[in-house]
């Protein structure tokens, strides 16, 4: 039983991401209340709620904000994230902080860019890639994202390209290794540009097989796996250091649900401290305690890797 | 009734031209493949574990 006097953290969703977030919170002495989407309203008395069910999150997030509950959303769906960002005025009016895109990509990617940017005088390019999926809803999102339109930030303009195009071989930390990655309908460039407005170029890719791309515009041919077997994240940051061009590449090799669970849990704990001002935020923005959240994530067992070499 | 000699000649000519085209294509491909530089994967460096420093 949870202590009624301690801050209450709720988790909406009963899947693998939800269980990983709960596991992280348990190890830190918290007892989150987990509810399915259908009974999410029973969490209206919580201080912070993590939305860990499949997209869309916008309507439920608005309901929690109206109840004065701080929200952490793990949605990486582009349309859903844009709708969540539109809730800025509601969140400010209600005095509630909301963190959107608290997942792997977006999420940990934003934290890593902010962390790595300290090694530069200025950064102007960020290129990110993700491999793997979390739970079944994440697999569905991966499938759909290869059939839509991808957006990228290029010299101060939003460029739209067909998802599934732009193949690039991206190297992830072992054991993932090299994977063919493609543009996809991701919320990452939007959130990255919010966190780092000086960036000139932002791209985001996802690993996919030929079958993924061929069947992207069809319904999923088979039921998605309960969880992706392996996952990875790669963040490449370019900019100026000592007056010269410099590149830093960092990555993670871990199951996507585990990464997302850790990111969401530590984002919720950051909100619980009450130091984040009201409004809609995303990880990497200076309004969030990014270093504390990243420290918490690595302390939860997520190992960061840096690419060293030529 | 057999095919007229002109039809047979045309068929043989078509097959011969097709074989020549395939042979020429194969030779060009072989030359290009031999001349193409072999892409060497990075031989130095790799992923190293890091701990975020404040």
> Which residue of B44, B48, B54 is in closest CB contact with A306?
B48
* Residue A217, helix vs strand vs coil: coil
DSSP string for residues in A75-139: ---HHHHHHHHTTHHHHHHHT-EEEE--BTTTBHHHHHHHHHGGGSSEEEEEEEEEE---SHHHH
> Which residue of A294, A308, A309 is in closest CB contact with B52?
A294
Whether B46 and chain A come into contact, CB under 8 Å, resolves to: yes
Residue A1 confidence (pLDDT): 47
Angle formed by the axes of helices A108-116 and A256-272, to 10°? 70
Structural tokens at position A148: 């839509």
Residue A185 confidence (pLDDT): 93
Find out whether A141 and A184 touch, Cβ atoms under 8 Å: no
Find out whether A265 and A294 touch, Cβ atoms under 8 Å: no
List beta partners, residue A42. Answer: none
> Which residue of A295, A305, A310 is in closest CB contact with B50?
A305
Residue B3 confidence (pLDDT): 57
Task: Please write the tens of the pLDDT for every residue from A216-246.
Answer: 888 887 788 877 788 999 999 999 999 999 9
Among residues of chain B, what percentage have pLDDT more than 70? 70
Residue A227 confidence (pLDDT): 78
Judge if ipTM > 0.90: no
Residue A310 confidence (pLDDT): 61
Q: In chain B, which ranges are E strands? A: 46-50
In whole angstroms, give the CA distance from residue A308 to residue B4: 73
Find out whether A281 and A99 touch, Cβ atoms under 8 Å: yes
Residue B18 confidence (pLDDT): 95
What residues of chain A score a pLDDT lower than 70? 1-5, 310
Find out whether A59 and A85 touch, Cβ atoms under 8 Å: no
Backbone angles phi, psi at B21, to 5 degrees: -60, -45
Res B54 pLDDT > 70: no
Predicted confidence band of residue B41 (pLDDT cuts 50, 70, 90): low
**Best residue in A232, A297, A306 for a mutation probing chain B (most B CBs within 10 Å):** A306
Find out whether A167 and A146 touch, Cβ atoms under 8 Å: no
Whether A250 and chain B come into contact, CB under 8 Å, resolves to: yes
- Residue of higher predicted confidence among B43 and A193: A193
In whole angstroms, give the CA distance from residue A70 to residue B38: 55
Within 8 A of A310 by CB-CB distance, chain B residues are 42, 44-45
Whether A174 and chain B come into contact, CB under 8 Å, resolves to: yes
Find out whether A121 and A240 touch, Cβ atoms under 8 Å: yes
Whether B2 and chain A come into contact, CB under 8 Å, resolves to: no
Residue window 98-127, chain A: list those with CB within 8 Å of chain B. 115
For residue A198, what is the DSSP state?
Answer: T
Whether B53 and chain A come into contact, CB under 8 Å, resolves to: no
Res B24 pLDDT > 60: yes
Give the pTM.
0.85
> Which residue of A251, A295, A309 is in closest CB contact with B52?
A295
Residue B39 confidence (pLDDT): 53
**Best residue in B44, B45, B47 for a mutation probing chain A (most A CBs within 10 Å):** B47
Partner-chain contact A298 B44, CB within 8 Å? no
Partner-chain contact A304 B48, CB within 8 Å? no
Partner-chain contact B52 A115, CB within 8 Å? yes
């Amino acid at each position: 039983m949870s202590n009624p006097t301690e801050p209450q953290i709720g988790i909406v969703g009963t899947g693998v991401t939800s269980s990983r977030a709960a596991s992280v919170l348990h190890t830190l002495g918290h007892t989150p209340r987990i509810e399915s989407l259908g009974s999410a309203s029973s969490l209206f008395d919580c201080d912070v709620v993590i939305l860990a069910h499949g997209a869309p999150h916008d309507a439920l997030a608005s309901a929690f904000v109206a109840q004065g509950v701080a929200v952490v959303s793990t949605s990486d769906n582009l349309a859903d994230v844009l709708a969540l960002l539109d809730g800025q005025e509601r969140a400010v009016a209600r005095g509630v902080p909301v963190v959107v895109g608290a997942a792997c990509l977006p999420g940990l990617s934003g934290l890593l860019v902010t962390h790595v940017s300290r090694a530069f005088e200025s950064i102007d390019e960020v290129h990110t890639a993700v491999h793997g999926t979390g739970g079944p809803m994440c697999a569905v999102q991966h499938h759909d994202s290869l059939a839509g339109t991808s957006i990228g930030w290029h010299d101060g303009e939003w460029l739209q390209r067909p998802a599934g195009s732009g193949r690039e071989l991206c190297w992830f930390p072992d054991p993932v290794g090299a994977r063919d990655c493609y543009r996809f309908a991701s919320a990452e460039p939007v959130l990255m540009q919010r966190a780092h407005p000086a960036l000139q170029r932002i791209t985001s890719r996802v690993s996919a097989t030929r079958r993924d791309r061929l069947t992207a515009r069809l319904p999923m041919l088979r039921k998605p796996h309960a969880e992706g077997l392996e996952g990875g994240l790669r963040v490449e940051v370019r900019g100026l250091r000592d007056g010269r061009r410099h590149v830093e590449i960092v990555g993670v090799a871990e199951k996507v649900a585990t990464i997302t669970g850790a990111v969401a849990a530590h984002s919720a704990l950051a909100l619980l401290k009450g130091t984040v001002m009201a409004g809609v935020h995303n990880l990497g923005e200076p309004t969030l305690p990014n270093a504390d959240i990243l420290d918490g994530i690595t302390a939860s067992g997520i190992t960061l890797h840096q690419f060293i070499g030529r | 009734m057999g095919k007229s000699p002109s039809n047979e000649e045309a068929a043989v000519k078509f097959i011969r031209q097709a074989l020549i085209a395939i042979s020429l294509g194969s030779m060009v491909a072989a030359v290009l493949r031999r001349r193409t530089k072999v892409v060497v994967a990075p031989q130095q460096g790799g992923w190293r574990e890091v701990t975020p420093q404040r």
